[in-house]
Chain A
Amino acid sequence: MSMRDVKVCLLGESGVGKSSIVMRFVADKFKNALESTIGASFMTKTIFVEGNTYKFQIWDTAGQEKYRALAPMYYRGSAAAIIVYDVTRETSFHAVKGWVHELQRHGPSKIVIAIAGNKCDLEDLREVREKDAQEYAHEIGAIFCETSAMTAVNIAELFDAIAKLLPPEDLLGTSNQMGGGSTVNLRNNAAKKKSKCCSGSDTEAASQQPVRRSLSTPRGSSSVTYPS
């Protein structure tokens, strides 16, 4: 048993649902029309993944332009960054690319990047194809999933995935001697977890999206995909 503090920050445009994701994850609550975050807010949540305890210290940053300059303060010390976009707003997906570039240039070298397409319950209003986002995530080696804070789709799975992908050499107590190249470990982890996560991805999501599934990627579209 080891306890590990994991600092995570959420980035993304204003109104994509960063705070809602955090609220769903931490308190399992959802509020319609949550007010926009001011500055950044901080919350913690402890989860157990494979016998390890992860204490997530989550920085939920404000998406508004005037706070943009503060972002480095939050991602600099982060082990993982979740970049959120809104599947019903294409511009918010374009903003993801900006964040990825910024993280690659200025972020910590080993930062785990996850891309989350939120509001996937609003299928009718969709503007961003899941396939496009997934391909992009694959390209840059990021975790990808579509989430819905409202219907609690893939929220817990997203954080589980991050926990599993953290470079193991950082694990307190159980330091892995093999931890030279983190990419290798990532791949191992990914291969191992994929099946489990697919089966775990909830029934709710599956029932919602049967039509789309046949159109897009053959493997369960509502599951978390790991970089490979």
Chain B
Amino acid sequence: MATEIREAEQNASVSDSDSGQSDFIETNEIPGKSSNTLLVANDSFEDLSYAELNNTIVASPMGTINSLVKKKAKRSLSLPEREHVEDTVSESEVDDSEVETSEICDDSQVDMIEARVTELSLQETTSQTADAQIPHLMTNTDTDYVNSPEWKRQKKHIFILSESGKPIYSRHGNEDKLVTIMGVMQALVSFVADSNKDTLRSIVAGDHKFVFMTRDHLTFVGVTRGKESTQQMFLQLTYMYNQVISILTHSTLTRIFKQHRNYDLRRPLSGAEKFFDNLLNLMDVEPGLLLTSVRCLPLDSNVRDIVSQTIAQHAKVKDLVFALIIAQNQLVAVVRMKKYYLHPMDLHLILNLINASESFKAAESWTPICLPKFDAAGFLQAHVSYLDEECQTCLLLLSVDIEAFYTLSECKAKIQERLIKYNALAAINNSLKRNSYSIQQCSISDLRHFLYKSRSTAQYTSPELEAPYNTKEEKERLFGLYYYLHDRIHTSGRTLKILFHVGAYETLLGWVTTGFELYAVFGPLVTKMSAIHAVNKLLRWIKKEEDRLFILSSVTF
């Protein structure tokens, strides 16, 4: 166990502590700062206050797609059916008696998808309820499974169940065999809700934390004996919720359960398990999800400019909202429609979509995706393709026009051609091969690793994981340290600005200002003074490299 030799915390005011503070840099030099944001930069982690937990109805943005479709409708007034879209899509008018939804199908493509899903769900429930409704009694196999050492040994469990206690997803093991335990979870949640008119948030038992989140008729449960705090677990459950929305949309989800409280959601979610699994695995290795920010592929700023300008020029088509290039979970470029921004949480869902599936490598694909922070009510259509032979560099074109595939396919061909011509693809590949950067490049002695997030751009940077953090156990431990540091700074009842923590194996320095968040890991013998000096040196280094490490300009169509 890490023994804490000494620990210094400074709350709020920087000036009233010792001399090292005078070295803290001025805020106008924040590395990676940019006023041209391309991502939504408000900090989602702090949005997740417990006050919000009590609201089962989360104010998700809705109608963005609707307004875009409306705009499109205005453009093509010649098509009378398009105008109709305005009436049918609007969420408020959707009522319960929607068995006839197939009638409106042709009115609007966006609506059609949802309506069909509902229609299908109706068919399904009528046929399936008979056998599905029989409550599973506790059988021997169920209890055996839950008691199996293999299942118990898992460090983190995540479950999704419906309001009526039906299993939907379990990270480990087959959810079918977990009917009993999920029933217990649902009982706990509803007991607190019914008898105390309260909300069950978390239970701490020994070194296990149980975190509960109920949203839109779904209950998300996280169980961990890792370093995550309950609030960090809550953030992870929120990502899981977003992933569900991304597949179904908020409107469809609520509609399904409004009509059939007993509905088995596994059916419309079938095949989505890999997205949940992959997202959870990403959370264990990718700090961007914790920081609600994304990592950019280090690239010369002029190369990046060429890439974004090429996209902006050759993908200038109507209804295209976002165009982005992604390589190995890192952002290469984003071009967006004026007025619309991509939220880092949405971007993580996109990264997860690409990361979780090999099927995009086979051919150009066209798939609906809902981005909950952008618009939880509807789907965007994504044209997904890889630009290089090795399938490293992925181009995504997100449109509100469901018929845009061929147009976007042409755009893709042009973009690909230009990027090859300008050697930009080669530059991207080179950067991927070189890996990110070594901590040694910063030439700061005793600094082992760091995470630096630029708050104004919602982007972060960090060096490669090198020795001693090159084994699975050590990586996990390092991640645990970051969880600890992040939690102490953000959610220990009062938020801190600076935290200096000396542990048995390393010393940690966390520093949060309005412009950035920095989490640095040093060797164990570093003094506070030298850590502060090192951090200043690091900030200067990041400042020097900021053009390469961050996307500072925002290109629009």
Answer whether A66 and B268 are a contact pair too, CB < 8 Å, given A38-B367, A39-B365: yes
Find out whether the CB atom of A66 lies under 8 angstroms from the CB atom of B247. yes
Cβ–Cβ < 8 Å partners of B363 in chain A: 22, 41-43, 60
Q: How far is the CB of A101 from chain B (nearest CB, A)?
A: 13
CA distance A8 to B78 in the complex (A): 29
Residues on A with C-beta less than 8 A from B384 are 38-39
Interface check A19, CB cutoff 8 A: yes
B365–A41 contact, CB under 8 A?
Answer: yes
Asked if B271 is at the interface (CB within 8 A of a chain A CB), the reply is yes
- The answer to whether B116 touches A41, judged by C-beta atoms less than 8 angstroms apart, is no
Inter-chain contacts of A42 with B (CB < 8 A):
363-366, 405, 409
A62 to B365, CA, bound (A): 10
Identify which of B64-72, B177-185, B322-330, B354-362 touches chain A: B354-362
Task: Kindly state the separation between the CA atoms of A204 and B248 in the bound complex, as whole angstroms.
Answer: 44
A69 surroundings in chain B (CB, below 8 A): 112-117, 120
B271: chain A residues at CB < 8 Å are 14, 36, 62, 64-66
On chain B, the number of residues with a Cβ less than 8 Å from chain A's Cβ atoms is 35
CA distance A19 to B363 in the complex (A): 10
The 8 A CB mask of A36-78 against B (1 = contact, 0 = none) is 1111111100000000000000001010111111101100000
Partner of A66, one of B115, B248, B405, B409: B248
CA distance A39 to B113 in the complex (A): 12
Interface size class of A (residues with CB under 8 A): 20 to 34
Flag if B358 contacts A35 (CB, 8 Å).
Answer: yes
CB of B160 within 8 A of chain A? Answer: no
How far apart are the CA atoms of A105 and B116 in the complex, in Å? 15
Tell me whether B92 is interfacial, beta carbon within 8 Å.
no
Chain B residues with CB below 8 A from A34, complex form: 359, 362
A68 to B105, CA, bound (A): 14
Question: In the complex, which residue of chain B has the Cβ closest to the Cβ of A22?
Answer: B363
Whether a CB of chain A sits under 8 angstroms from the CB of B368 is yes
CB pair B109 A64 closer than 8 Å? no
Asked if A197 is at the interface of the complex by the 8 Å CB criterion, the answer is no
A85 to chain B, nearest CB (A): 18
Chain B residues whose CB sits within 8 angstroms of the CB of A73 once the complex forms? 109, 402-403
B73: interface (CB < 8 Å): no
- Kindly list the 5 A-B residue pairs having the minimum CB-CB distance in the complex, ordered from nearest: A39-B367, A69-B116, A41-B363, A64-B271, A41-B365
Name 30 A/B residue pairs within 8 A (Cβ), A-sorted.
A14-B270, A14-B271, A34-B359, A35-B357, A36-B359, A38-B359, A39-B365, A39-B366, A39-B382, A40-B366, A41-B362, A41-B364, A41-B365, A42-B363, A42-B364, A42-B366, A43-B364, A62-B271, A64-B271, A65-B270, A66-B248, A66-B268, A66-B271, A66-B272, A67-B367, A69-B114, A69-B117, A69-B120, A70-B113, A70-B368
Given A14-B270, A41-B362; 9 other pairs, CB 8 A cutoff: A23-B362, A37-B365, A38-B359, A38-B365, A41-B363, A65-B267, A66-B270, A66-B272, A72-B105
